A = this chain, B = another copy of it.
Amino acid sequence: MNSFTEENYLKAIYHLGGAGNTAVNTNRIAELTSTKAASVTDMLKKLADKELINYIKYQGVTLTAKGKRTAINIVRKHRLWEVFLVEKLGFKWDEVHSIAEELEHINSEQLIDRLAEFLGNPKSDPHGDPIPDKDGVFHKKELIKLAELLIGQEGKISGVSEHSPAFLQYLEKTGLTLGKKIKMKESLEYDGSVSLLIDKKEITVSSKVAKNILIQL
């Protein structure tokens, strides 16, 4: 069994791309876990001893198969709880992250299996992030950035790549919520801002916003 803290490090490494083959830095992990580099080094030794990460001094880390399995399971739990909070308890999508950060560490396989079942085995969370199945497999089609749509192309808002409450609240306010159909009208070369049709109205969003909205064609 891994401690609460170990789980948070594994999750951080996973989110920083540690499941791939480029190594993750100590400093980035420290940032994401709100600790100091020295503390991260200590933990990396421990996780390496437990064979959850591949760690070479000064060279950063990647997750082992075992570490990846563990990390993905935490992600699965986090996202399922987010669905529960939004769908069943009526939270807004910008309110659930911190509660799910706690719930994700509850330890009961049976609990998560039944929760998933209860929620109808959702494939994505309230932000459109994919939910892996029990075996850690993601079943979700590729999404592309709104900013990359061609003029005239249509699609459905299906995810966001930024999760700050400020951004989510902005989307809420402007009606750019998950599931909405949109059509690209024009893209301003000058500042990268983008105009699109949504609910039969035309609205314009900045380049930054357009890069953080994910579309399914």
Cβ proximity bits A112-155 to B, threshold 8 Å, 1 near / 0 not: 00110110000000000000000000000000000000000000
Measured between alpha carbons, how far is A110 from B96 in the docked complex, in Å? 11
Question: Which of chain A's residues 73-128 have a Cβ closer than 8 Å to chain B?
Answer: 85, 88-91, 95, 98-99, 102-103, 106-108, 110-111, 114-115, 117-118
Which residues of the partner chain B approach A117 to less than 8 Å between Cβ atoms? 89
Which secondary structure dominates chain A's binding surface?
helix
Q: Which residue of B lies closest to A90 (CB)?
A: B114
Contacting A102 at CB < 8 Å: which of B89, B99, B106, B115? B106
Which residues of the partner chain B approach A110 to less than 8 Å between Cβ atoms? 91, 95
Q: Which residue of B lies closest to A102 (CB)?
A: B106
* Cross-chain contact A107 with B111 (CB below 8 angstroms): no
* Cross-chain contact A89 with B103 (CB below 8 angstroms): no
Copies of this chain in its oligomeric complex: 2
Give min CB distance, A2 to chain B, whole Å.
14
Measured between alpha carbons, how far is A49 from B89 in the docked complex, in Å? 37
Which residues of the partner chain B approach A107 to less than 8 Å between Cβ atoms? 102
Give min CB distance, A56 to chain B, whole Å.
35
* Cross-chain contact B91 with A114 (CB below 8 angstroms): yes
* Cross-chain contact A114 with B89 (CB below 8 angstroms): yes
* Cross-chain contact B106 with A89 (CB below 8 angstroms): no
Measured between alpha carbons, how far is A102 from B1 in the docked complex, in Å? 15
* Cross-chain contact A106 with B99 (CB below 8 angstroms): yes
Measured between alpha carbons, how far is A103 from B89 in the docked complex, in Å? 16
Measured between alpha carbons, how far is A3 from B118 in the docked complex, in Å? 31
Chain A residues in contact with chain B, CB under 8 A?
85, 88-91, 95, 98-99, 102-103, 106-108, 110-111, 114-115, 117-118
Shortest beta-carbon contacts, A-B, top 4: A89-B114, A102-B106, A99-B108, A99-B111
